[in-house]
Structure 1
Amino acid sequence: MTRMIFINLPVADLSRSIRFYASIGANQNMQFSDERTACMLLSDSIGVMLLTHDRYRDFISRPIGDAHAESQLLMALTMESRDAVNATVDKGAAGGGRADPTPQQDHGFMFSRSLEDPDGYVWELMWMDMSAVPPQA
């Protein structure tokens, strides 16, 4: 069985968030979407569940934090090339996100940039040449 991960994010404006995630290549799975929830698939095994605040509260009683003011999590997503990293950041910024809220990193064999979604969640988009990874000491 292929393991899957679903990242559940509370969002202030569901339509805006759907547009943002679609802009970076996610496909909406309508089978698991409704007026309060959108399932956005980044791959066959990675889903982002966008939940309106009232829907998110169905699952948890703690207050919903403000990702613009506090760091709650940092998600990393691999890309197939440096060019794909740059293109995805550009598309996400054009789709309502903010490019590079954290510093770009370039270690030669690994390159990453970050993208903040409209609700303040930061995605680290990265490419790594596994054949060039330094050996473990």
Structure 2
Amino acid sequence: MARMIFVNLPVSDLSKSMAFYAAIGAVKDARFSDDTAACMTFSDAIHVMLLTHPKFRQFTPRPIADARAGTEVLLALSAESREAVDGMVEQATGAGGSADPGPRQDYGFMYGRSFEDPDGHIWEVMWMDVAAFEAAKAPAGG
């Protein structure tokens, strides 16, 4: 079985968060969803578990961080092109998120932007031309 990741995020409004993640390309997996949680799938390996605050508290004794007041984690997704990076940020903005809470990153071979979901969780979207990156890192003459 391939290794998978399930990112667990506390959300204040489950329906609103589900609509947001659906708008940026995730699909609800009903097998792992109920009225307290929704599994939103980006790929066979990438899943975001949206958990109501009471549900999230079942998994940790620590207080739920306010993602708008501090940053605990930056989540990153790859994209197939520069245009796909811009497209996902535009989708996020159109669905109620905020664009570019951090600066755009443009290094020629790598391009990235970010967005915040309705609860303030920051997602980075990155594209990289791996061949150009490797060529830039290759030693001269060699």
TM range (shorter): over 0.9
Per the alignment, residue 135 of structure 1 pairs with 137
Give me the identity figure in percent: 55
Q: Partner letter of residue 5 of structure 2? A: I
Q: Partner letter of residue 132 of structure 1? A: A
Confirm or deny that 1:30 pairs with 2:13: no
- Give the TM-score, by structure 2 length: 0.94
What RMSD, in angstroms, separates the aligned Cα atoms of the two structures? 0.9
Quote the offset at 1:136 in angstroms: 5.9
What CA deviation, in whole Å up to 9, does each residue of 1:63-120 have, x standing for no partner? Answer: 0010000011001110000000001000011001101010000000000000100111
Measure the CA separation in 1 of the matches of 2:24 and 2:132: 27
Confirm or deny that 1:121 pairs with 2:109: no
Per the alignment, residue 106 of structure 1 pairs with 106
Is the partner of 2:112 in helix, strand or coil?
strand
- Give the TM-score, by structure 1 length: 0.98
Measure the CA separation in 2 of the matches of 1:21 and 1:45: 16
Per the alignment, residue 96 of structure 1 pairs with 96
Task: Please tell me whether Structure 1 or Structure 2 has the larger radius of gyration of its CA atoms.
Answer: 2
Measure the CA separation in 2 of the matches of 1:136 and 1:117: 38
Q: Partner letter of residue 135 of structure 1? A: K
Q: Partner letter of residue 50 of structure 1? A: L
Q: Partner letter of residue 105 of structure 2? A: Q
Unaligned stretches of 5+ in structure 2? none
Measure the CA separation in 2 of the matches of 1:12 and 1:98: 17
Is the partner of 2:39 in helix, strand or coil?
strand
